[in-house]
Amino acid sequence: MHKRLVLYLFILSLAFFTNVNGAESEGMPQLNPEFWVSQIFWLILTFGSLFIILSKFVLPKISNNLEMRKSQILENIETAEKQKIESENKIKEYETLINNSKNEARNYFNEARKKIIQDIDQKREKIEKDINQEIQNAEKEIIELKKSSPEKINKIATETSIHLIKQLIGEEINNSSISAIVEDLSRKNKEKNYDN
């Protein structure tokens, strides 16, 4: 192969430069075939070993690294999505909890208010009842007093008039006649009052 290449390049170089020997000393050192074989040999050696080492040892490591990173990133994205869903669920849970507790609190509040209102109503009713009772009692008493008061007044009036008459005249007068007069007077007064 090499010999053919060399021949081919000779022809090529002849096309560019008519004098190959001249090129050797003055022109292009590239066309000097002195070290061609050496260059080919060392090229094959270095490039071959470079290729073997790169393909066997170095490149697999790099591709492994890249694959690892890819898979890890995918994993991370997956876990992130999972966690996102989880957190969304948690937020929903939290919101329902808050809503429930709000409702509960409202219920408690309403119940408490109802209770208090009931309590207040009951107490008020009781108090009103008591007050009514007392008022009734007081009215009864007043009525009784009213009923009894004219008799007493009459009595007192009779007694006082007896005493007065006794002191003024010095004579005892019949009890019954004076009380009759007093009763008559009081009845007249009463009538006057009622007339008014």
- Least distance between other proteins and beta carbon 81 (Å): 19
The 8-class DSSP code of residue 31 comes to G
Residues in contact with other proteins, counted by CB under 8 A, come to a total of 41
**List 19, 21, 46, 136, residue binding other proteins (CB under 8 A):** 46
**List 7, 10, 22, 54, residue binding other proteins (CB under 8 A):** 54
* Residue type for position 142: I
- Least distance between other proteins and beta carbon 87 (Å): 24
Question: Which residues, numbered 23-42, are part of the site for other proteins (CB under 8 A)?
Answer: 27-32, 34-42
Which is closer to other proteins, CB of 34 or CB of 195?
34
Cβ partners under 8 Å of residue 138, min gap 6:
none
Residue 154's closest CA among 180, 188, 193?
180
Residue 101 has which token pair? 């507790």
**List 19, 55, 132, 148, residue binding other proteins (CB under 8 A):** 55
- Least distance between other proteins and beta carbon 82 (Å): 19
- Least distance between other proteins and beta carbon 68 (Å): 7
Q: How far is CA 136 from the centre of its chain?
A: 55
Question: Helix, strand, coil shares of the chain as percentages rounded to 5?
Answer: 95, 0, 5
How far CA 133 is from CA of 30, 122, 128, in Å, comes to 137, 16, 8
Of 61-69, 114-122, 132-140, 186-194, the segment contacting other proteins by CB under 8 A is: 61-69
Is position 53 an interface residue for other proteins (rule: CB under 8 A)?
yes
Is position 142 an interface residue for other proteins (rule: CB under 8 A)?
no
Residue 114 has which token pair? 């109802």
**List 10, 19, 22, 69, residue binding other proteins (CB under 8 A):** 69
Long-range pairs, 130-133, Cβ under 8 A, ≥24: none
* Three-class SS state of 71: helix
- Site residues (vs other proteins, CB under 8 A): 1, 5, 9, 12, 27-32, 34-44, 46-47, 49-51, 53-55, 57-59, 61-66, 68-69, 72
